[in-house]
Chain A
Amino acid sequence: MAAVRRNILNDATARQKYIQGVKLLKQEFPGPTTSDLGLDGPASPVSTYDLFVVWHHVAMNTFTPPTQRDRNAAHSGPVFLPWHRFMLILLELHLQRVLDDEDFGLPYWDWAADGDLSPDQQVASPVWAEDCMGGQGNPVTTGPFAFDKVDASSWRVLLYGDTRTGQLLRSDRGLQRAFGQTRSPDGSLIAPTLPRRAQVATALDLETYDAPPWNEQSPGFRNQVEGWVPANTAPGLHNCVHVWVGEDMLRSSSPNDPVFYLNHCNEDRIWAAWLQDNSPTYVPDQTEPDVLRGHRIDDAMHALLSDPLTPRQMLDVEDFYTYDNLLVS
């Protein structure tokens, strides 16, 4: 039976199991070490959870094609939605294994519902309560991912994407968040509020999935959801959520924050709603030039922790999961 992905605020069981599951994956060390991953210093075991952090960072730094610095193997191109669906499915399967529950579905955070509230209400949303994702801070000190320096089992960021070197570096610190507080050098807030339902509706109205030049400047649904359009404006949808949560969610290692998966699960739900109205449509197809390798419908997507899948395989995933509700706007 396919799992059902539910709103984390409406299902206490999904909420509790998600928290339990990611903590179990954080404490599971299947064998690979930092040395196996090419990181400097003494070899340290890497948890299953942190292997997903590494995968996201590496995919982001794998350029497609390698001659340019725009489109990468997971972002800024057509594969953005199918690659993250691939990542979420694999994480969900591992969560089902450690929870011993084949019916467990990743929960989603309907951030657009919060986006229609006042900025103060957004920060006070139940998603940030003690029994859900906890609050903000440097480090986070409330909820299930609170940092406690003397408690080795408390949630720790052990690998992070360093902005100076662009590399994954080691750390041993707590999770960091600053809701709506990411500022430009001129002091202005970059994403003071979460995206609104009306912005999601605008994306859903687009009939084209993606289009040339197949990058951050493309018209179409993918780029609207990823958040690069309209150009020269504040970050949209997906990008806006990353920037609004701030701190660790700003880095290439953003899966360090379990909120990463709640965010992407909601974007996947928006894609599912769009696919329902637009039939299983995906572009580009294999007639497009090799310069788009990694983004075409039958190309192997970037894989680190499993065999690769293709975007075509991500168009029908009802055997894996369904959503409790596709009313996204």
Chain B
Amino acid sequence: MKRSEFARASTPESLVEHVGRNAPVLGHPYGGTMESIREATYRGHDIVIRTSYHIEVDGAPLEGHLGVANDGQVHYHAIPNLRFVSTVDLVKQLIEAFPEDFQPRSGGHAHREEP
């Protein structure tokens, strides 16, 4: 690929144009379904496994994307570089790594600042 074919992409005007064009897709909630679908084909048979999760911590739902791989390990996209043999271990790891994310939030508004 030639640099000249892509050079305009580095202008502030291009940034504004493309964010404006693509931003509507960002308006959707990033969280949502906790259903994970695994699919495989074996000896001509199509296998579909749907796994649903509803996870709560201190009574509040965990809302990020959780997935199950075909080897049964679970991963969570908010902590993308790790995967776990159990969902309980995964949630423990979230609390271990990010205790501040699990502090009570006043008024339901999650705005975190330095004390």
B84's closest neighbor in chain A, by CB? A184
B113's closest neighbor in chain A, by CB? A172
Known: A169-B111, A185-B96, A243-B82. A89 touches B6 (CB 8 A): yes
Instruction: Judge if A190 is at the interface, Cβ distance under 8 Å.
Output: yes
* B contact residues around A250 at 8 Å (CB): 79, 81-82, 97-98
Tell me whether B79 and A251 are in contact (CB under 8 A). yes
B92's closest neighbor in chain A, by CB? A185
Tell me whether B89 and A185 are in contact (CB under 8 A). yes
* B contact residues around A183 at 8 Å (CB): 96-97
Segment at the B interface, from A11-19, A199-207, A310-318: A310-318
Instruction: Judge if A90 is at the interface, Cβ distance under 8 Å.
Output: yes
Known: A30-B12, A37-B19, A69-B68. A165 touches B114 (CB 8 A): no
Tell me whether B65 and A61 are in contact (CB under 8 A). yes
Please provide the chain A residues from 158 to 172 with a CB less than 8 Å away from any CB of chain B in the complex.
Answer: 160-172
A89 vs B39: C-alpha distance when bound (angstroms): 35
Instruction: Judge if A294 is at the interface, Cβ distance under 8 Å.
Output: no
A163 vs B108: C-alpha distance when bound (angstroms): 15
Please provide the chain A residues from 305 to 324 with a CB less than 8 Å away from any CB of chain B in the complex.
Answer: 305-307, 309, 313-314, 316-317, 319-320
Tell me whether B93 and A185 are in contact (CB under 8 A). yes
* A contact residues around B64 at 8 Å (CB): 163-167
* A contact residues around B93 at 8 Å (CB): 184-185
Known: A60-B77, A304-B19, A313-B1. A231 touches B38 (CB 8 A): no
* B contact residues around A75 at 8 Å (CB): 80
Known: A162-B110, A183-B96. A48 touches B63 (CB 8 A): no
Tell me whether A164 and B81 are in contact (CB under 8 A). no
Instruction: Judge if B20 is at the interface, Cβ distance under 8 Å.
Output: yes
Please provide the chain B residues from 76 to 115 with a CB less than 8 Å away from any CB of chain A in the complex.
Answer: 76-83, 85, 89, 92-98, 101-102, 109-114
* A contact residues around B62 at 8 Å (CB): 164
> In the complex, what's the smallest C-beta–C-beta distance from B15 to chain A, in angstroms?
5
Instruction: Judge if A262 is at the interface, Cβ distance under 8 Å.
Output: no
Instruction: Judge if B59 is at the interface, Cβ distance under 8 Å.
Output: no
A283 vs B57: C-alpha distance when bound (angstroms): 41
- Interface secondary structure of A, over-half rule: loop
Known: A32-B15, A32-B16, A185-B92. A164 touches B6 (CB 8 A): no
Tell me whether A162 and B69 are in contact (CB under 8 A). no
Instruction: Judge if A196 is at the interface, Cβ distance under 8 Å.
Output: no
| Binary B-proximity of A71-113 (CB < 8 A = 1, otherwise 0) | 0100100000000000001100110110000000000000000
Instruction: Judge if B54 is at the interface, Cβ distance under 8 Å.
Output: no
A30 vs B13: C-alpha distance when bound (angstroms): 8
Tell me whether B96 and A306 are in contact (CB under 8 A). no
* B contact residues around A94 at 8 Å (CB): 10
Tell me whether B70 and A213 are in contact (CB under 8 A). yes
* B contact residues around A232 at 8 Å (CB): 73, 85
> In the complex, what's the smallest C-beta–C-beta distance from A240 to chain B, in angstroms?
8
* A contact residues around B7 at 8 Å (CB): 93
- Point out residues on A near B: beta carbons under 8 Å: 2, 28, 30-32, 36-38, 40-41, 48, 51, 54, 57-58, 60-61, 63, 67-70, 72, 75, 89-90, 93-94, 96-97, 139, 147, 149, 160-174, 182-185, 190, 213, 215-217, 227-228, 231-232, 235, 238-239, 242-243, 250-252, 254, 303-307, 309, 313-314, 316-317, 319-320
The 27 sampled A-B contact pairs (Cβ below 8 Å) are: A31-B12, A31-B15, A32-B16, A37-B23, A41-B109, A58-B30, A61-B77, A67-B37, A70-B69, A89-B6, A96-B10, A162-B78, A164-B110, A165-B64, A166-B76, A166-B77, A166-B78, A173-B113, A184-B93, A235-B82, A251-B80, A304-B26, A306-B9, A306-B14, A307-B18, A309-B1, A316-B1
